[in-house]
Structures are given as structure tokens and as C-alpha cells.
Amino acid sequence: AARALLKDLIATARHPQMRTPLMTYGGLSIVFLGAALATAPVLDLVVGVAVSIAMLPLVEFVLHRYVLHWLELAKWPPLAEVWRRVHYAHHMEPRDPDVILAHPVSAIGLVAVLSGLYALLSPLAVLPVVGTAFALFALYEIVHFACHTDDPLSSRYFLKRRQAHAIHHYVDENKHFGITSSVSDLVLGTAATDKKALTRSPTVRNLGYTGPFAERYPYLRDTPPRG
């Protein structure tokens, strides 16, 4: 199982489109963790890394459900354009390689939430939290990219993540907000535990940007939602 997981991880990471995000987030992770090793007390370093990892499922869930799916963003032209690239276009065309990888705004959001929350408890742990957050975002990109490709997968973990994410994109956008994990979805009731009970959501591809709402706020209508 570990060998299959490592095989899928490496194969996805070696995809040409993954080169830039992995170099960027991996490099930032090394810089911040290196600075943390030089300045942060050992306890803060260990706790900061551990807390960042533990918080990832919840932060990932909250950002995805309450920010990336926030239809209100379509009401203002500048924010509508940001939303288009950050998430709306990805739901319109889930297989479009140009919008599979996250916009840097998403990375900044995840890192800011993780580091901001923990800075309130221990300012000395901010560096390890930021460094770990960038590493986790690199992992997020690998898992998310694997979910949207046709590349063969052999590990149970990657296969389950792909299946869960397919439900989110093609059946019901209100299910499976987690990318690297379904922990938060299971706890908060958005996991598709009974697949036979699923029905296709009419807004799974347009996230609710349709009908009277789209008529009133026409800032995305030059690229109309499909499906």
C-alpha cells in the first residue's frame, strides 16, 4: 500500500504542469522551515508543524465551502473576475488543464488562515506554521491534480480521493469539499456516505450562477456556465 501511494505521488508530481507550483510552494516551505529551525524553540517548531497538519482538513473545508463557493462574489465585477479564475471556471470545465491548479490566491488564503490562527497562540510558531502550510499546499496540488487526470492510479488513497472529488464536480457540488481528506466532510455531514441516494444537482457546474441571479449580475456571462 505504501509503495502504491508513493508511486502515485511521484507520478503526479512529475507531470510537467506540476513543476511550477511544486517548485514555488516547495521552495517557500524550505525557506520558512529553514528560518524556523534557526529561530524557533524546538517545542514551538514541533507543535507548529503538528497543529498545521491537524488543522488542514478543517481549513481546507472552510475555505472551499464558504469562500470558493460563495456566490455573493459574483455580485461585484472585480471580485467576479477573481472568482472566475479561483474557482468558478474550474467548476464550469473541470477537465480544463488551465484551471485545475489553484490560483495563488487560494494558497495565500490557506497559509494566512493557518498562520493567523496559530499566531494568536504562539507568535514564535508562525514560521514553522507557514513553512508547513506551504508544504501542505504542495500536497494539496498533487492530490487535486491527480483527481482531474486520466492517469492510472494504483493506491487506495488516490483512488478514493478521485472518486470523492468526482462526486463534487459531476453530481453534487455540496458534497465532498475536502481534497486531501474527507474527515471534515464526514464530521460535518457533507460526505456522500450513501451513493445510491445521490441525485445530480442542477447547479453542479455553475455553482448557482444562473437564472435571475445571473441576469441581475451579468459579470460572468461572457463565458456562460455549461451543463
Average pLDDT, the chain: 89
Dihedral angle sign, alpha carbons of residues 117, 121, 125, 126: positive
Coil, strand or helix: which one is 191? coil
Mean pLDDT of 185-209: 94
Half-sphere exposure of 50 (CA within 13 A, CB side): 6
Contact by Cβ (8 Å): 64, 180: no
> Shortest CA distance to 224 belongs to which of 204, 202, 209?
209
Q: How far is CA 144 from the centre of its chain?
A: 7
Mean pLDDT of 200-209: 95
Coil, strand or helix: which one is 153? coil
Mean pLDDT of 23-46: 90
- pLDDT of 105 above 90: no
- pLDDT of 30 above 70: yes
> Shortest CA distance to 164 belongs to which of 133, 143, 136, 135?
143
Q: Which three cell numbers stand for residue 103?
A: 490560483
pLDDT digits (tens, 9 = 90+) for 173-185: 999 999 999 999 9
pLDDT for position 135? 93
The larger pLDDT score, comparing residue 24 to residue 40, is at 24
- pLDDT of 227 above 60: no
- pLDDT of 225 above 80: no
Torsion over CA of 162, 111, 18 and 177, rounded to 10 degrees? Answer: 20
- pLDDT of 125 above 80: no
- Dist CA 15 CA 41 (whole Å): 37
pLDDT for position 222? 57
Task: Specify the pTM.
Answer: 0.90
Coil, strand or helix: which one is 156? helix
Contact by Cβ (8 Å): 155, 8: yes
- Dist CA 75 CA 213 (whole Å): 9
What is the amino acid identity at position 216? R
Count the Cβ atoms, other than its own, within 10 Å of residue 104.
13
- pLDDT of 199 above 90: yes
Q: Which three cell numbers stand for residue 148?
A: 482531474
Dihedral angle sign, alpha carbons of residues 126, 108, 34, 9: positive
Q: Quickly state the pLDDT bin for 188 (edges 50, 70, 90).
A: very high
* C-alpha Rg value of the chain to the nearest Å: 18
